[in-house]
Amino acid sequence: MTQKSKCIVFMIDPYYRKLIRYNWAQLRVLPYYSIYVKESEEFTPPRRRVEDILSESKNDGCDAYVLLITNGLQVSQLLEYAERNRIINTRGNFLMIHDTLLFDVGMKYIWNRITKVMFIHRFTVLTRRSNKTTMKEWFNLETVSYPVRANNFVKTRYVNTWHKGRMLNKDVDNPFTNKTLRLERRSLRVAIFEHIPAVTRYSRQLQKHYRDYSEKASGVEFEIMRVLSDKMHFKPNFYTPVDIEIEKWGTKDDNGSYNGLLGEAERGNAEFFLGDLHYTLRHFELLELSYPYNTECLTFLTPESLTDNSWKLLISPFRLYAWIAVILILLLGACAFHFFALFYQNQIMPYVRNTNAEGIQMRGLTLFTDMQNSMLYTYSMLLQVSLPRLPRPWALRVFIGWWLLYAILVTVAYRASMTATLANPVAKITIDTLQQLAKSRISVGGWSEEQRDLFGASLDPDLIEIATRFELTLKEDDAVARVANGTFGYYDNIQTLQEARAKRQLLEEMRKKKSTREEKVIDDRNLHVMSECVIYMPISIGMDRNSPLKPQVDEIVRRVVEAGFVEKWLSDVTEWSKITELKDESPAAKATVNLHKLHGALVALGIGYFLGFLALIIEKIQWKYFVMKDPAFDKYQMDVFYSMSRSNFINKGGIASCRKS
């Protein structure tokens, strides 16, 4: 017991202290801790001093415990409390006095976690010969098998006998052997919670015949368990707890106990627990977690927006700043044309002597003398619509030539971008970041209280906002249906969300095929897996708390990860969802041009009609309340009225100059 131990812990009551005459301090074989136990002392909980010594001894690496306590109830209470609070090294060597209270059915979970244990069973026989009484005494060393399977009473197994200062069976060199190295095809219970990518529904056909081969992916953890059973030489007994589909990991009841998979672990009903368990403090308190075999991206399944952006088709070729530049240049160009026309009319034409030459020069110049006409014809040139008459002044002609060159470049760029927009699928409006999700109005949720606590414990304002809207939903199908309705965001790992999205797409396709022509099928929103991960969570295989199998399991899982098998199994699990998404790809996304994408032209036409009617109403109002009330207005001599109004508007400056001369 002391050959490979770093230090030793003694717990002795008054009876054995007097009997053995405790003198370990004089031998100075190993560093030790000693705890004196009173006969009336209770260990629910133990004294603060006892708890501190046990914790300190574990931190110092002590892996040998000698419990020489007569009262078996005290020993059972001490072991239960120390194991529950992890203040002793359960993988160390234990030597204690045999007592029937230690083998009650309620203690079997302790002996599944403390396997290197020896019980000192004392036997005495009195013989009387010739009025002389002699006493024969010997001590049997007994242990328990692993795993302990007891319905009424835990059975012990004989190891050796100590008699007259020596061991009778000299073949047993070290009684504290590691029983987990020799499982000898024993049956170990494995509790299963089906959750992608850990365990899939296809694993059900392999649970009884786990060595068989299947073309369907059974899950990463199921495959790892097959490797563990082969390397550690045990037979996995897979089973699914009652109501696991509803309870899942499990929640804490009013009495403080758990249901679901964590409830199975709390009661010690199995040696392994498969269910995509996160490497968190809550799971660490109830389970023994293996070396993480994978790191999962936890994110949300969100709906795509139903906002129709086809009306933006005419403005989509250019960005905002490009449109601002085009509009500003259009205004500047119109003002420049108007300035050139006015400058030529007011500064050059008065000096032209020839009346015929003046009329020739004015041809086409009137297109830009009015600001509204200048804006209209400048815009028409930008749309590559020719002018009704080309102005005669060469300065204006040169400027128009350069303007047409600019118009060609702009329209070519616009048409090229428009062609690309029509040929490519319409851009989807999705929620891809936590900030966008926090600003959206949809509610979010998941199936675990631990998921909700993760958001509530964060200091990030976006995660805090999400935590206020987080709901618990135990049925995945109902949650995905709410996502398809556009009112919910479902939280889980990315593989599960991709599988749920593929199932929903397949369901929608089947529903459309079954519907008749007279029936109107309302399309749900497309589902989108958010690209930003909330957290990258390590995933482990669960074992019984303080399980003696952990060192071997960790070593095998590490080798499996390094060999690349986990990546291969993950690819097998997600293969179906990837193929389904490719098959169910929307035909509208493949089409080059369809009627839906031409809604922008109809929107532009509608805007044009609206502006035209608005201009008509304004002209009607201007005619009724301004023109008809003019004193010179005569409906029987309209030509005279308009000729007088126009001549006064054009020649107002010329008449004034003539009067001055």
Residue tagged 């204690």 (tokens):
96
Amino acid at 294: N
Domain with 418, as residue range(s), is 311-425
Residue 515 predicted with pLDDT over 70: no
Residue 583 predicted with pLDDT over 70: no
Residue 42 and residue 75 in contact, taking contact as beta carbons nearer than 8 Å: no
Residue 20 within a domain: yes
Residue 589 predicted with pLDDT over 90: no
Give 328-363 as a DSSP string.
Answer: HHHHHHHHHHHHHHHHIIIIIGGG---HHHHHHHHT
3-state DSSP of 354-378 = CHHHHHHHHCCHHHCCCHHHHHHHH
The count of domains in the chain is 2
* Range of lowest pLDDT (13-27, 151-165, 347-361, 473-487): 347-361
User: What integer is the mean pLDDT of 520-541?
Assistant: 82
Give 219-259 as a DSSP string.
Answer: -HHHHHHHHHHHHHTEEEEEE--TTHHHHTT--B-TTS-B-
pLDDT on residue 131: 73
Residue 326 within a domain: yes
Residue 89 within a domain: yes
pLDDT on residue 598: 65
Q: What is the pLDDT of residues 56-69, one digit of tens each?
A: 999 998 889 999 99
pLDDT on residue 661: 34
Q: What is the pLDDT of residues 536-580, one digit of tens each?
A: 999 999 999 999 999 999 999 999 999 999 999 999 999 888 887
What is the pLDDT confidence band of residue 649, given thresholds at 50, 70 and 90?
very low
How many alpha carbons lie under 13 Å from residue 507 in its C-beta half-sphere? 14
Residue tagged 């672990």 (tokens):
265
pLDDT on residue 310: 66
Domain boundary among 155, 179, 203: 179
Residue 102 within a domain: yes
Distance CA 325, CA 406 (A): 13
Q: Answer with the residue of higher pLDDT: 292 or 395.
A: 292
Domain boundary among 111, 146, 179: 179
Kindly report the pTM of this predicted structure: 0.74
Distance CA 188, CA 146 (A): 10
User: What integer is the mean pLDDT of 77-97?
Assistant: 92
What is the pLDDT confidence band of residue 24, given thresholds at 50, 70 and 90?
low
Residue 186 within a domain: no
- What residues contact residue 501 under an 8 Å CB cut-off, 6+ apart? 301, 480, 527, 528, 529, 577, 581
User: What integer is the mean pLDDT of 503-524?
Assistant: 68
Residue 92 predicted with pLDDT over 60: yes
β-strand 132-143 against 117-129: which pairing, if any? Answer: antiparallel
Distance CA 110, CA 77 (A): 11
pLDDT on residue 152: 81
The average confidence (pLDDT) of the chain is 83
Do 315 and 175 belong to one domain?
no
What is the pLDDT confidence band of residue 581, given thresholds at 50, 70 and 90?
confident
User: What integer is the mean pLDDT of 621-633?
Assistant: 81
- Whole-Å CA distances, 381 to 230, 299, 345, 400: 81, 52, 22, 9
- Whole-Å CA distances, 232 to 235, 254, 543, 549: 9, 39, 15, 9
Burial 74-111 (b: 16+ CB within 10 A, else e): bbbbbbbbbbeeebbbbbbbbbbbbbeebbeeebbbbb
pLDDT on residue 642: 67
Residue 525 within a domain: no
Domain boundary among 179, 210, 228: 179
Residue 269 within a domain: no
Percentage above 70 pLDDT, the chain: 86
* Range of lowest pLDDT (96-110, 126-140, 161-175, 638-652): 638-652
pLDDT on residue 356: 52
Distance CA 4, CA 12 (A): 22
Burial 372-401 (b: 16+ CB within 10 A, else e): ebbbebbeebbeeeeeeeebebeebeebbe
Residue 250 within a domain: no
Alpha helices in 526-598 (DSSP H): 550-562, 565-583, 587-590
